[in-house]
Amino acid sequence: MSVADRLTGFLDTDQGGLTLAQVLRYIAVLIAVLFVLIPLYWMVATSLKDAAQIGVFPPNLVPDPATLEPYFEAWDTGPWGQYFINTVIVSSGATIGALAIATPAAYALARFDFPGSNPIYLLFMGLLMIPAQILLIPLYNLLANLGLVDTRLGLILVYSTFFLAFSVFLLHSFMTNLPESLEEAARIGGVPEWKIFGKVILPLVKPGLTATGMLIFVFTWNEFLFALTILQSEELYTISVGLQSFQGIHGATMYNQLFAMSTLATLPVVILFALFSDKFIEGIAGLEMQ
């Protein structure tokens, strides 16, 4: 069979082939996937190259030889273990902090018609439109007044505050999607409000909480600007700040070492998505259905 025949058969819908629109769609998806995967591949490939392979032209697409040496060398340049621990603490703290405040707030705004509920919700929506850079100096001054500059707690508070409006917006959407009759049934039965929230609402918005939590965690894991501004002591650095300082140490940037640490920094996020991808997709799908 010739290539032309194969292509004709491929496009022939009567024979179970694909339509032209489907082929174009698959090509578009492929381009989008490559757009994401190529930088990732380049990061991992460079992290496995020795110093001699860096900066050669044309670049080696495949490391030859592949070596883990850049990982060991990079690890010795700074307290990377501490950076990881700091990042886990800050990202987890920010995620828990934002969700702990946003969840009851979203429930109240979604379900209780109290005076000012709509303006408050609109205020949250308005906060979403403020660029982070505008908040940088006021938040720094606030933390300085509270004595929280150069502390992990300070950064956690900033992240929690910054992601509060975002979390309220997402969780509000999930909660308005739940039938009110669930709460009414419990209310008629005399179930206290706190238990309705804890035992009926929270379990049902778990996919929404997971999706929102994962988005906050990933954003804060990668966040650089606030971390660089607020954290000044090296032992408090998060990975993103550590990567930046890593460039400075050597004068000339050792890209294989930088990418080795970047690859390690990406791993927890990849593992997180691998573990919770079902819940994340369920949560995002729940949003899309509205």
Residue 138 tokens read as 């006021």
Q: Provide the 3-class DSSP secondary structure of residue 55.
A: coil
200 touches another protein (CB under 8 A): yes
Shortest Cβ 277–another protein spacing (Å): 21
2 touches another protein (CB under 8 A): no
From residue 143 to residue 182, the character string flagging contacts with another protein as x (rule: CB under 8 A) and all else as - is: ------------------------------------x-xx
116: left (phi over 0), alpha (psi -120 to 50) or beta: left
Chain positions 202 to 261 lying near another protein, rule: CB under 8 A, are: 203-204
Spatial distance between the Cα atoms of 197 and 201, rounded to a whole number of angstroms = 5
Q: Give the binding range for another protein (CB under 8 A) out of 46-54, 90-98, 199-207, 241-249.
A: 199-207
Positive or negative torsion for Cα 75, 72, 225, 92: negative
Binding another protein (rule: CB under 8 A), the pick from 23, 191, 269, 272 is 191
Evaluate whether 259 touches 47 at the Cβ level (below 8 Å): yes
Shortest Cβ 191–another protein spacing (Å): 6
187 touches another protein (CB under 8 A): yes
**DSSP assignments along 72-127, one per residue:** HHHHTTTTHHHHHHHHHHHHHHHHHHHHHHHHHHHHHHHH---TTHHHHHHHHHHH
Q: Give the binding range for another protein (CB under 8 A) out of 89-97, 133-141, 184-192, 260-268.
A: 184-192
111 touches another protein (CB under 8 A): no
Shortest Cβ 287–another protein spacing (Å): 18
199 touches another protein (CB under 8 A): yes
Q: What secondary structure letter does DSSP report for 52? A: G
Name every residue whose Cβ is closer than 8 Å to that of residue 31 and which is 6 or more positions away in sequence.
Answer: none
Shortest Cβ 174–another protein spacing (Å): 14
Residue 63 tokens read as 């490391």
Q: Which residues contact another protein (rule: CB under 8 A)? A: 179, 181-182, 184-192, 195, 199-200, 203-204
